Amino acid sequence: MTGVVVCHWQHLGKLVGIHAKRSCGVFSWSLDPRTALVRAGFSVRGFQFVEMSSRKSKNNSLIHAEYISQVQRILRERFYHQSPHSNLFGVQVQYKHLIELLKRTAIHGESNSVLIIGPRGSGKTMLINHALKELTEVEDMNENVLQVHLNGLLQTNDKIALKEITRQLNLENVVGDRVFGSFAENLSFILEALKKGDRMSSCPVIFILDEFDLFAHHRNQTLLYNLLDISQSAQTPVAVIGLTCRLCLSEDTSVREVLQKHFNVSKNLQSLHMLLMLALSHITTSHPFVTAADLMEAHQLCSMDSKANIVHGLSVLEICLIIAMKHLNDIYEEEPFNFQMVYNEFQKFVQRKAHSVYNFEKPVVMKAFEHLQQLELIRPMERTSVNAQREYQLMKLLLDNTQIMNALQKYPNCPTDVRQWATSSLSWL
Amino acid sequence: MPHLENMVLCRESQVSTLQSLFGERHHFSFPSIFIYGHTASGKTYVTQTLLKTLELPHVFVNCVECFTLRLLLEQILNKLNHLSSSEDGCSTQITCDTLNDFVRLFKQVTKAKNLKDQTVYIVLDKAEYLRDMEVNVLPGFLRLQELCDRNVTVIFLSEIIWEKFRPSTGCFEPFVLYFPDYSIGNLQKILSHDHPPEYSADFYAAYINILLGVFYTVCRDLKELSHLAVLNFPKYCEPVVKGEASERDTRKLWRNIEPHLKKAMQTVYLREISSSQWEKLQKDDADPGQMEGLSTYTHVELPYYSKFILIAAYLASYNPARTDKRFFLKHHGKIKKTNFLKKHEKITSLVTLQLLTLVGHDDQLDGPKYKCTVSLDFIRAIARTVNFDIIKYLYDFL
């Protein structure tokens, strides 16, 4: 269990703990908080203690504001900044394996390579940061181990990557921040520097490659090839650790509790963080505890359907055009359409007997059509060709019938005949 | 914040959500926030006003303006530099063209004293254009807090929904915030807020009511509506100014303005005449029936041969080249007989009328190339006047 303990030594110890899998609780004891924790069966490690001033203050609300601010600060740092204070859940086996491997490189001088695969938000970066932190805490290797952190998003080709490695290792051809020399020179320089050392006296280097799959897309995969080659053959002990994501589809089942519902929609820890943090961000002096209502509201915000939101804001003319497209899709079985066809369909509706929708001029309808295209609700089948006029370009609608009908339900002040037109198909003929 | 409420109308819930997300100055916040909503729903205005009023260190960048990565990154860094160095104006311009350098320079710039312990906000407006840049830009900005290891939050503003941004291999998911469209009541309230001081608020509110009644079913864009409101207000006040009606004479005022607004929809709303032309037309007190936009130029009388040139141009523009022989063997003779010089003049006059446009480069030596830009309805009308059945010659109608 992790948490934040805010102690006011003289009087009470309040334990405000929020655990991802259990609900929030507020406990208070009149004992020394650490003892209280141990008695309650929690391990003290992983808790952060915030000491408040022991002055007896007349103004209670001032103390509340201060400690709420501190709690917010710490929790935000944990959730957003992912500082490695927290314990690891569910990855103990992997962690043991990883730390073993790193120790073998650092202490025994053995070269290794590891690839950590997991879906996004499953804790890979947290795992490696934790392991590195523990490694640097072990006494006999404090200054010895060199670390090079690379990220596939930043070092988009081998040249930049090589310069970054040279920079991070502070090798001799770096003056300040600028790196001199060509790609080939830099590569051979690094390889030489790493090769010269032998297992006993040279510093082990740990390479951490985030977004590993992006490095694999570089030309000829030069960097990867060389790094892994070094880790097999070189004298300097080198550990290459890659982190990459693997896409994972989530299931959707219906359940009652908000947290359970959220867990089923997305098993991604990051989205859970988002949900909880959103609920927590409403905590102020006037509203000091997280309530069920906060969590429900946060869930609402997180699970909005964005396309429905956009359709909600369209004008009546634009809604009519979408309904016309829906009818065309029904009649012609999803064949692409052009503006002229949609306009004809719209004319049929307006001239029939609808009085609530004015028979707008064609250019006005064209402007509404172009607005839909700008919002990316409709898309041209191919790139704009010079030969076809705008009215005759073939388009596709990116909403399906269920989405349209659902959006219409929520559309404010929808004229009745427009709604009837949407639900009817050819029955008005 | 009462001061904020006066500046930002009808957005209380969004403002409070944003404020609670920001938290206090030194707090960490969501690494990235994605705000979406219709155009003119207040995304840019609310974000800017909130950041300025709370005096949080921020950088505002428009992705349409900064259409290459270098421009985007340099603007962010230089603006941040400006923020941090309050004393002098002339600090050296930073150059940067990759995300890797950006991260390194960003860490340096944010070491400045007044930026160090606070959240720095980077706001990217029109963020849908980021999708067209290098592939690592969007995922990089989403994770900027982690990559730089600094207290920074990136806010994306866009009209397009988040699902269309997400890369296929996934990325760090931002917090998605929706700015709902304004209801008709909200629009009424916001538009009536800007009433000119000479007239009463009720008078202006009645005018806005009429305006919305005509335009609301077509357009809900606040920018368009406020533009139309400003343009047409003088016409609305005319009876009052002339003394023909009092401020409360709603029926008379409505009868005066309604045909005018309908005409506005066909011309100035479609940008077929400019706003200054529209204002001039109002001042000259022209009969509304006489106002024509460019799309209604059927009354323009063209000389006989010009009409044939136009028809030929239309057929040439929209029929595939290989079908020409099939259609034109008999007809070709007629066009060739025309005097070359006259033809050139006639073509130039057609270009001036914007019925033909020049395509291709000006320096093409073997003659300029033109394209016909009229609609099918127009060309049919023209063809009818010369007894030419154009439909028989169009490939698409076979």
Q: What is the mean pLDDT of residues A311-323?
A: 90
Angle between helices B12-22 and B43-53 (to 10 degrees): 50
pLDDT category at A6 given cuts 50, 70, 90 is low
pLDDT category at A413 given cuts 50, 70, 90 is confident
Q: Is residue A303 predicted with pLDDT exceeding 80?
A: no
Q: How many residue contacts between A and B have a Cβ separation below 8 Å?
A: 153
Helices (H), B54-85: 69-84
pLDDT category at A124 given cuts 50, 70, 90 is confident
For chain A, the average pLDDT equals 73
Residues 6+ apart with CB under 8 A from A24: A16, A17, A18, A289, A290
Integer Cα distance of B346 and B370 in angstroms? 13
In chain A, residues 169-198 whose CB comes closer than 8 Å to chain B = 177
Tokens of A161: 């990557």
Q: What is the mean pLDDT of residues A330-357?
A: 85
Beta strands in A136-256 (DSSP E): 146-151, 174-175, 178-179, 205-210, 238-245
As for the ipTM of the complex, it is 0.73
Of the ranges A105-109, A283-287, B231-235, B345-349, which one carries the lowest mean pLDDT score? A283-287
Query: Which run of H or of E encompasses B177?
Result: strand B175-178
Partner B contacted by A270 (CB < 8 A): yes
Closest partner CB to A153 (pick from B136, B181, B220): B136
pLDDT category at B294 given cuts 50, 70, 90 is very low
pLDDT given at position A60: 67
Integer Cα distance of A86 and B85 in angstroms? 37
pLDDT digits (tens, 9 = 90+) for B163-191: 888 887 778 888 999 998 888 889 999 99
Closest partner CB to A306 (pick from B145, B161, B170): B161
pLDDT category at A351 given cuts 50, 70, 90 is confident
Closest partner CB to B160 (pick from A364, A376, A389): A376
pLDDT given at position B144: 93
pLDDT category at A361 given cuts 50, 70, 90 is confident
pLDDT given at position B306: 80
pLDDT category at A1 given cuts 50, 70, 90 is very low
The shares of helix, strand and coil residues in chain B, as percent rounded to the nearest 5, are 55, 10, 35
Question: CA quadruple A18, A22, A27, A29: dihedral positive or negative?
Answer: negative
| Residue A241 β-bridge partners | A114, A208
Query: Which run of H or of E encompasses A129?
Result: helix A124-137
Q: Is residue B328 predicted with pLDDT exceeding 60?
A: no
Integer Cα distance of A302 and A307 in angstroms? 14
Partner B contacted by A80 (CB < 8 A): yes
Closest partner CB to A307 (pick from B145, B146, B161): B161
Phi and psi torsions of A397, nearest 5°: -90, 135
Q: Is residue B242 predicted with pLDDT exceeding 70?
A: yes
Integer Cα distance of A238 and B76 in angstroms? 37
- Strands B369-372 and B356-359: what pairing? antiparallel
Contact A375 B104 (CB under 8 A): no
CB A161 within 8 A of CB A155: yes
Of the ranges A210-219, A308-317, B26-35, B378-387, which one carries the lowest mean pLDDT score? B378-387
Residues 6+ apart with CB under 8 A from A268: A119, A120, A121, A122, A250, B173
Hey, of A306, A338, A398, A410, which one would you mutate to test binding to chain B, going by the most B CBs within 10 A of its CB? Answer: A306
Partner A contacted by B162 (CB < 8 A): yes
Q: What is the mean pLDDT of residues A144-154?
A: 86
* DSSP SS3 for B174: coil
Q: Which residue has the higher pLDDT, B4 or A113?
A: A113
pLDDT given at position A117: 86
Of the ranges A24-33, A87-96, A419-428, B303-312, which one carries the lowest mean pLDDT score? A24-33
Integer Cα distance of A407 and A422 in angstroms? 11
Contact A389 B318 (CB under 8 A): yes
- Min Cα separation A316/chain B (Å): 5
Q: Is residue A125 predicted with pLDDT exceeding 90?
A: no
Q: Is residue A119 predicted with pLDDT exceeding 50?
A: yes
Residue with structure tokens 């005096």? B55
pLDDT category at A389 given cuts 50, 70, 90 is confident
pLDDT digits (tens, 9 = 90+) for A216-268: 888 888 888 888 877 777 667 888 899 888 654 433 222 234 566 555 556 56
Of the ranges A152-161, A217-226, A262-271, B124-133, which one carries the lowest mean pLDDT score? A262-271
Q: How far out from the chain centre does Cα B24 lie?
A: 35
Q: Is residue A285 predicted with pLDDT exceeding 70?
A: no
pLDDT given at position A248: 47
Tokens of B101: 């350098």
Partner A contacted by B305 (CB < 8 A): no
Q: A304, A90, A284: which is closest to B27 by C-alpha?
A: A284
Residues 6+ apart with CB under 8 A from B123: B47, B48, B51, B58, B59, B60, B61, B154, B155, B157
Tokens of B49: 């006003």
